[in-house]
Amino acid sequence: MRYSIFSLIRQAFRGHAGWEPAWRDPAPQSEYDVIIVGGGGHGLATAYYLAKVHGITRVAVVERSWIGSGNAGRNTTIIRSNYGLPGNTAFYEWSMKLWEGLEQDLNYNAMVSQRGVINLYHSDAQRDAYARRGNAMRLHGVDAELLNRAQAREMLPFFDYENARFPIQGGLLQRRGGTARHDAVAWGYARGADRLGVDIIQNCEVTGFLIDSGHVRGIVTTRGVIRAAKVGLAVAGNTSRVAAMVGLDLPMESHVLQAFVSEGIKPLIDTVMTFGAGHFYISQSDKGGLVFGGDLDGYNSYAQRGNLPAVEDVLEAGMAVWPGLGRIRYLRQWGGLMDMSMDGSPIIDRTPVAGLYLDCGWCYGGFKATPASGWCFAHLIARDESHPVAAAYRLDRFATGHLIDEKGQGAQPNLH
Amino acid sequence: MRIDCPYCGERGSEEFSYLGDADTLMARPDADRPDAAAAFHAYVYLRDNPAGRHRELWYHGAGCHSWLVVTRDTRTHAITVVISAAAPRAAGGRG
Ligand SMILES: Cc1cc2nc3c(=O)[nH]c(=O)nc-3n(C[C@H](O)[C@H](O)[C@H](O)COP(=O)(O)OP(=O)(O)OC[C@H]3O[C@@H](n4cnc5c(N)ncnc54)[C@H](O)[C@@H]3O)c2cc1C
Ligand SMILES: [Zn+2]
């Protein structure tokens, strides 16, 4: 069923009784051309583009829980392409371009909202660093504007500009950045993939792999064996666990990141702001809640929940830049498992096992990457060669020294 | 999360800084071994990253300034053993 104003009116007159499920609930078949493990945004987008761009439709997405139950449905929904290093800039900009056409392509309202993303700077040195990043972006055809203090103040009037320790001097603005509805992105890709023939198999956990003379032949799951000559892993925070089933040690740690939502209030902030003197970022959802977050908790975790020191740290940073926040009650918080790579950048590559492909290392920035990750992972799986904008995301870059370390932190995942 | 420092007693985890996998980080390879490049790649970048028991290095920066080896379950955050890193280090690790 195509969604449109007409289908909406028709259903309104029928008491909305005629809507069909957005995707089927098939039992696994015994064999597919490609299996994607992980029904988050990346896995679903990969399946969609495999079918749509490469014509490979005998595809299954195998998800141990329900689709979008991982980070796809836990993130703070920020999309942007303000990356400064070669290897990243073109990839994230391709993702932004896909976001701009996503809803028409999927015939699904993903609530993509290009409300702008402002990174505030608080010192001359930080301004220079942001100017350099903005220039790198513009050289790649990405939009970037350096705002002075007055311009920032016009967009974000209620912040603490007089703060003696962290005075706000201005910001780097990407107007095309913004937010999207995270669940709807997973659902939209799922529906799109399903309509092209992809089987989305939920409540099906992968517990092992069939490997024969160095080549993957299929997967072992809680719902039986499923065969395929090509298997793609898109399991985010669980990548090390799944990769361990084939004996792969990866340059990765799993960490917990928390997010927070306040009570619903009237429209207050109409852009996305990141504080430059501590780790804090905030935007407002269409329901009215302020959505915010900050640093990782900082230790390896598979618990999908964090601890109070990180909560205190995030709220302190928030209060430093926006004292008025103290008058608003915060309503709920949760955690997700971050696949923190050793240089803070992702991996989209083959593995030493033939036919087994890897899409991981998204750290806490993988939501914005969802469309391009799906596009490039599908390209890699279908053609067995890297897509040009993802060519730097190699697994062997840690051995060859071609790291992509935006923050310059070195091999310390909890600092990226 | 509270860490029972052998010198200071039980303290909130916010007093400590986290470094990572103790078994990897305390076994720095010998730079003279013939496969040193591969060994250092593994030492610097590769991690088991287990879901379950994990021995890890924490530094008590807001306390006694010791390095500790904490055994913790990464699925529940439950801590079972905390010892000083000095003993395992003296016993063969190169720190
Ligand atoms: C609190 C928080 C805030 C964030 N904020 C942002 C943000 O503002 N902007 C941004 O760009 N990014 C953000 N991120 C990061 C982003 O959410 C992730 O990088 C991205 O969602 C990861 O890709 P995914 O959607 O495919 O992952 P997931 O949705 O986690 O998908 C992985 C799936 O694999 C499944 N799986 C795991 N093991 C198995 C198995 N053995 N068998 C079968 N299935 C399995 C899981 O159940 C899961 O559904 C945030 C993350 C968190 C947690
Ligand atoms: Zn101590």
Q: Name which of A302, A309, A342 is nearest B12 (Cβ-Cβ).
A: A309
Q: How far is CA A91 from CA A10, A101, A373, A393, in A?
A: 41, 16, 9, 10
A32 pLDDT higher than 80: yes
What pLDDT shows up at residue A352?
A: 97
Q: If you average pLDDT over every residue of chain B, what do you get? A: 94
CA distance to partner chain B, nearest, from residue A343 (Å) = 9
Q: Indicate yes or no: CB of B18 within 8 angstroms of CB of A299.
A: yes
What pLDDT shows up at residue B95?
A: 47
Q: Is A364 in the pocket of ligand 1 (CB under 6 A)?
A: yes
pLDDT-derived band at A212 (thresholds 50, 70, 90) equals: very high
ipTM (interface predicted TM): 0.95
Q: If you average pLDDT over every residue of chain A, what do you get? A: 97
Please report the atom of ligand 1 found closest to the CA of residue A259. Answer: 1
Q: Indicate yes or no: CB of B49 within 8 angstroms of CB of A252.
A: yes
Between chain A and chain B, how many beta carbons pairs sit less than 8 Å apart?
74
B92 pLDDT higher than 80: no
Average pLDDT value for residue range A55-78: 98
What pLDDT shows up at residue B88?
A: 75
Query: Quick check: B91 and B84 in contact, CB under 8 A?
Result: no
- The rounded percent of chain A whose pLDDT value lies above 70 is 100
Identify which of A155, A165, A82 has the alpha carbon closest to the alpha carbon of residue A122.
A165
> Residue B74: its chain A contacts at CB < 8 A?
254, 300-303
What pLDDT shows up at residue B42?
A: 97
> Residue A300: its chain B contacts at CB < 8 A?
20-21, 49, 54, 56, 74
CA distance to partner chain B, nearest, from residue A257 (Å) = 14
Q: Indicate yes or no: CB of B77 within 8 angstroms of CB of A309.
A: no
Average pLDDT value for residue range A330-356: 97
Residue in chain A lying closest to B17 (CA): A298
Taking the mean position of all CA atoms in its chain, how far away is CA A392?
18
What pLDDT shows up at residue B91?
A: 66
Ligand nearest to the CA of A82: 1
A129 pLDDT higher than 80: yes
Residue that is written with structure tokens 């302020």 in the block: A290
Residue A75 CA, ligand 1 centroid: distance in Å = 8
Which tokens in the block code for residue B16? 């400590």
CA distance to partner chain A, nearest, from residue B58 (Å) = 9
Average pLDDT value for residue range B2-19: 97
Query: Quick check: B4 and A310 in contact, CB under 8 A?
Result: no
What are the tens digits of pLDDT across the range A240-296? 999 999 999 999 999 999 999 999 999 999 999 999 999 999 999 999 999 999 999
What are the tens digits of pLDDT across the range B35-47? 999 999 999 999 9
What pLDDT shows up at residue B93?
A: 55
Which residues does B contribute to its contact with A (CB < 8 Å)?
A: 1, 12-14, 18-21, 37-38, 41-42, 44-51, 54, 56, 72, 74-77
Identify which of A336, A326, A323, A253 has the alpha carbon closest to the alpha carbon of residue A293.
A336
Average pLDDT value for residue range B9-14: 96
What pLDDT shows up at residue B94?
A: 53
Spell out which residues have Cβ within 5 A of ligand 2, the ion: B 5, 7-8, 60, 63-64
Q: Name which of B18, B46, B49 is nearest A254 (Cβ-Cβ).
A: B49
| Residue A201 neighbours by CB under 8 Å, 6+ apart | A26, A27, A28, A60, A61, A62, A63, A223
What are the tens digits of pLDDT across the range B73-87? 999 999 999 999 997
